[in-house]
Each structure stands twice: as C-alpha cells, then as structure tokens.
C-alpha cells in the first residue's frame, strides 16, 4: 500500500467514527503500527486536517474537511481515467469536453505518484461500435431538466415517420454505442417511454416541475425493467 493510500484510509477511518477513537484502535483497524499512525496523523494535521486529540485520549476529525490530494485511491484513479475516456469518445460534445476538463482538474491536485499513474494508465476504450447518431437538439438541456425536475416538451418522429408532440417527465438519459435515449414518463401515453434523442426534432424545457420527485420516478422506471428487456433504445 502506498503512503497516499494509507493516509486516505486514515481519513476515511476517522470519518466513520462520530466520537473520538483511540490511536490503538485506529492502528489495528488500518493494520499499521501505532508509531506509523501517530506519524500519519501529524502529517494530515500539517496539511490542514482538523484532527483533534492526543495519544491516550483518542482522535476525531471535525466535519467539513476534504483534502484534495487524498480523494482517490489508485484503483479509483483508474476508474476515473477509464470512465472519462469512454465519455470523451462516446458522449455528446458538451460531456466530452467536460470529461477532459474534469480529468485535467483531478490531475492537477493528486500527488505525483498518482499523477504518474494517470499519465501511464493502460486501460483503454476499444472501438466505437456503430456510428452514433447525431442530434439536432442540445443534450445539455435534457440533463438540466433532469437535475431540476422540470417537464420537457418534445417533437418526436417515430420509425414510421409519424410526428407527435409529447410532454415528458425526464428521469434518465442513456448513452449507448450507437444512439442515445431519453427515458421518462409520457403524459400522452400515461406510462414510461423511451425516446431516441436523434429522433427529437425540437425540445423545450418547461417552467413547471413535474408533480413527483425524480427519485420516486426513477425507482418506478427501474422496476419496469426496461433496460433488461430492451437492451437497445426503442422508439416510443
């Protein structure tokens, strides 16, 4: 285990205890010597961690502390790199740019050893599958509507060429290799439906919120088991 990971684990251990915990207990929990624990606590305190206590009495980490260089383990870094590479290659332009920017910010704050691990990461995204369809709408508007729980009004064209106007309560936006899909409650059909975003010709985020919380709708949508029964986006 690297020193960075050891310090990260110590921070996580302190966060898990609401009340002061003895050094011997922490050392046993982390599998390190008491001497190493005291040294690590001093290191964290020197870097700004509000750890109160002393040997024999116990230690407690006061709320609100986040030490950027210790936010990630090496495996978490690998997951972030792989995920950002997938997004940068397969998502829409706005998310692609955001993924690259986020990864640059992470690289600027992690310790040198983790920065090297990021630069030399060997996990890659292979192939893009079928060509992703392009949209005539801005997907960032859909993502914002989902975050703020607002209805959206869309103009949709199905496979048969039939056009319709729908009011949707958006709950999820799925990214597939060959297409992207909006999932939500359709007021016209009175059930959950999926809409391929490349078939949405117009979209307006409406001022009113939908009447139920997104977390509730998301749970109900998952229970419908659409993703298991229909592994590719279908037309509504």
**Alpha-carbon span 170 to 34, nearest angstrom:** 53
Sign of the dihedral defined by the CA atoms of residues 34, 36, 38, 44, in that order: negative
* Per-domain residue ranges of the chain: 3-70, 74-119, 139-229
What pLDDT is attached to residue 91? 81
**Mind listing the pLDDT tens digit for each residue in 43-93?**
888 877 888 888 878 899 877 655 555 567 777 888 888 888 888 887 888
Task: Say which residue, 42 or 225, is predicted with more confidence.
Answer: 42
| Among candidate residues 141, 233, 114, the one with its CA nearest the CA of residue 182 | 233
Question: What mean pLDDT is predicted for residues 215-223?
Answer: 88
Query: In Å, how far are 89, 90, 179, 195 from 130, measured between CA atoms?
Result: 13, 11, 9, 18
| Residue 70: predicted pLDDT | 53
Write down the pLDDT at residue 227. 53
Q: Report the CATH number of the 139-229 domain.
A: 2.30.30.100
Distance CA 125, CA 148 (A): 32
Q: Which CATH architecture has domain 3-70?
A: Orthogonal Bundle (1.10)
């Amino acid at each position: 285990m690297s020193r960075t990971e050891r310090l990260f684990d110590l921070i996580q251990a302190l966060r898990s205890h609401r009340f002061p915990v003895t050094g011997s207990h922490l050392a046993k929990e982390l599998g390190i010597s008491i001497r190493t624990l005291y040294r690590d606590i001093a290191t964290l305190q020197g870097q700004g961690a509000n750890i109160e206590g002393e040997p024999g009495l116990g230690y407690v980490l006061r709320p609100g502390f986040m030490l950027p260089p210790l936010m990630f383990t090496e495996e978490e870094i690998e997951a972030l790199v792989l995920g950002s590479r997938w997004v940068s290659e397969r998502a829409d332009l706005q998310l692609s740019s955001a993924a690259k920017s986020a990864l640059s910010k992470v690289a600027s704050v992690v310790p040198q050893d983790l920065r090297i691990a990021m630069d030399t990461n060997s996990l890659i995204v292979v192939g893009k599958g079928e060509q992703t369809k392009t949209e005539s709408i801005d997907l960032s508007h859909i993502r914002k509507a989902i975050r703020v729980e607002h209805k959206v009004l869309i103009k949709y064209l199905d496979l048969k060429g039939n056009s319709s106007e729908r009011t949707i309560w958006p709950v999820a936006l799925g990214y597939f290799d060959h297409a992207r899909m909006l999932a939500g409650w359709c007021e016209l059909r009175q059930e959950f439906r999926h809409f391929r975003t490349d078939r949405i010709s117009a979209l307006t985020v409406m001022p009113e919120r939908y009447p139920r919380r997104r977390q509730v709708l998301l749970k109900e949508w998952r229970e419908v088991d659409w993703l298991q029964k229909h592994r590719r986006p279908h037309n509504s």
